[in-house]
Structure 1
């Protein structure tokens, strides 16, 4: 499996920030996996670090059906 990552963090002097992470995986059975996490946050306190915000997370798996059916037939 090969994993590819993209990470990004933007922050402002007003305490607002936006963090994004994306991961793509090409799996050995020709399937693909996509993971996305993004968060919009506000930095309430610097020491200790306290942040509050909203986040969004999604997961997508692209399945190669032809390959999966052949694998199931091998088991029978």
Structure 2
């Protein structure tokens, strides 16, 4: 299993999601930065140009039909 899947198109990457894979989709949003750095505490995120920085994640099970979004089951929207 790959530990990282790029979030942009790479014509040489032919990997595809397969049924029963569990995937964490992690997004980082910033107000003014273009890069995100992780602090030594491995928890705090800082942006290269300051501003606010947050992370959001969904954990998904790939199925042959509609995916199952596990994090949607926790009631947090």
The bucket for the TM-score relative to the shorter chain is 0.3 to 0.5
Higher relative contact order (CA 8 A, sep 6+): 2
Instruction: Normalising by structure 2, report the TM-score.
Output: 0.32
- Which protein is richer in helix relative to its size? 1
TM-score, with structure 1 as normaliser = 0.32
